[in-house]
Amino acid sequence: MPKTDITQKVSKNIEERFGAKIDFKIKEMGKRKVYAYKECTELENQPMDITHYGVYFGRFEKDGLRLSIEGTQLIGKKAKSNIVEIDHNNTIKWMKGENIKFESEAHGYVILKWKNYFLGCGKLKEGTIINFVPKDRRITT
């Protein structure tokens, strides 16, 4: 896939799923991983060997784009749909890496929010939001 097409693909996915528009570019690095970045004209003519740049935004799965925690923070305020607001107790469960019960007719990837904080992306399936918080970022209390 040409590099310009990946930004369009991610943009379309974000707009369809979350009703948000992105104002940054996307670069695919590694297996299905995408990173968000803004161009920096000051660095354009500098010789650099960059293997990764930007913020890890998400990963393409068979059933769509699964956002990273940072990805949800980048688009959360702009998102108009598929946002699940959770209470304090469910926030603690989520940050421990536990799945959350949530009754809804909807399904697919959702952004989890507690107060003004975007906590990450989960997959809503059959009344449960499946947790994707990486083990090294979970709380242990």
pLDDT digits (tens, 9 = 90+) for 64-100: 999 999 999 999 999 999 999 999 999 999 999 999 9
What pLDDT is recorded for position 38? 86
Element (H, E) at 5: helix 3-18
What pLDDT is recorded for position 47? 61
Q: How many domains does the chain have?
A: 1
The domain spanning residue 113 has which CATH number? Answer: 3.10.450.720
What pLDDT is recorded for position 3? 47
Q: Count the neighbouring beta carbons within 10 Å of the beta carbon of residue 128.
A: 14
Which structural domain range is residue 31 located in?
A: 3-137
What pLDDT is recorded for position 1? 45
What pLDDT is recorded for position 100? 97
Rounded Cα gap, residues 63 and 122, in angstroms: 13
Residues of the chain with pLDDT below 70 are: 1-4, 41-52
